[in-house]
Structure 1
Amino acid sequence: MSRRAALILAGLLATEAPAQQADWLATTGKLSGEDFYRLVSCRALPGGPCTLDPVRWPPEKAIDLRVALLDPPPGYPQGTARRMSVALDHAIAEINSVGAALRLRRVAAAAAADITVHLPRVPEGGLITGTGIEGVDGSPIEAALVTIWWDDRMALTSAAIVMAETIPPADILPIMLEELTQAMGLMTDIRNPLYDSLSVLAEDSNSVAHLGPQDREALRRHYPGGSP
């Protein structure tokens, strides 16, 4: 059974709490690189218009994005915490290997991070508690949830990832990679059986533990100017 991640979008200047929304589009067959990029970056069906304005980290921040895994609460399973930590290191290394104008580095939990990863004692299907983030606490979670904020220039300002405590060990690595990739601004998953083994952004699969060729191309297009 697929364990889904969810996405919360929140403009920094909005006064209301962020709203959760469906974060996938259904397609059939292999997409061109252009169609795949537009689907994941601006929620466009092949040949159709964008339905979201693209958001991305500003260049000066994108080249040094700080990511922190926050300390789990008392009683959190130590084995799960270790797997989450390994998965985060793997996800950072995958994104850094793409050749985009994008560089992530892990910082201590107490440091000021641009992206925070939260490990609450919340099972799949439960309601998130303990993050202290308005609009995130109280939200339902299946496997994971990523929340992004941006300013009036459509520049990302911060992101928060929440991982459910009961994700099966085999799914932790793919799900962490998907969430961190979405936190780069590639906000829409693809529902298409062909992509279940090709993309970390596949809606119905948690089997992809490495960025696929079109995932990597999409990140390079979103953050051009990096080193091959």
Structure 2
Amino acid sequence: MPFDHNDHYHRLLLRKLPPHGRTALDVGCGTGRFARLLAARGYEVDALDPSAEVIAEARGYGGDGGNPRFRRADVTREELPDGGYDVITCLASLHHMPFATVTRLRAALAPGGALLVLGCYSGTTWWDPVASPVNAVARMAVYADERLRGERRPPLKPPVAEPDMTLPEIRAAAARLLPGCGVRQLLFWRYLLTYRKDRTYRSGSG
């Protein structure tokens, strides 16, 4: 049934955007739904994904005057502009790469910029018994709504990988690599990592 856990948190992520931001990088953009929301907010968006099939689908949905700029690229190898982005987002994509990739993303943030990670974790937590029945109800609600509207969303085709870090491991690694960040557990087997780069930060300072 067409209930997308990542789409569910789009509004939360949009509320975390830094004020007066102009440039954005969406890592693991998939078919580009969130990248297009960033563009609609006035951001110039670079949207990267390593899957050629997914990028082709994202381009098929189009953008406004070439924004977002969808490109097939592996962010772990891509040369990113130092301090080039006011916001960097990762929606259910960080677990496809080494967690330490966040240090490359930190370096690509402009002073005052924000890194927003909607991530997945492994293992079980006390929230999981709550998430399962809520998830079932939400899926049924979306399905019923689309039946009434006569709509059907096209299937998504992103690569799938199981997360290999538990939530405590993620919190520990994030605290080490992104001092001052916050990690908040969310429903539907997700967490939100937020990091704001200090305006006095200099590359190589830690």
Normalised TM-score (structure 1): 0.26
Q: In terms of Rg, which structure is larger?
A: 2
Q: Which has the higher helix share?
A: 2
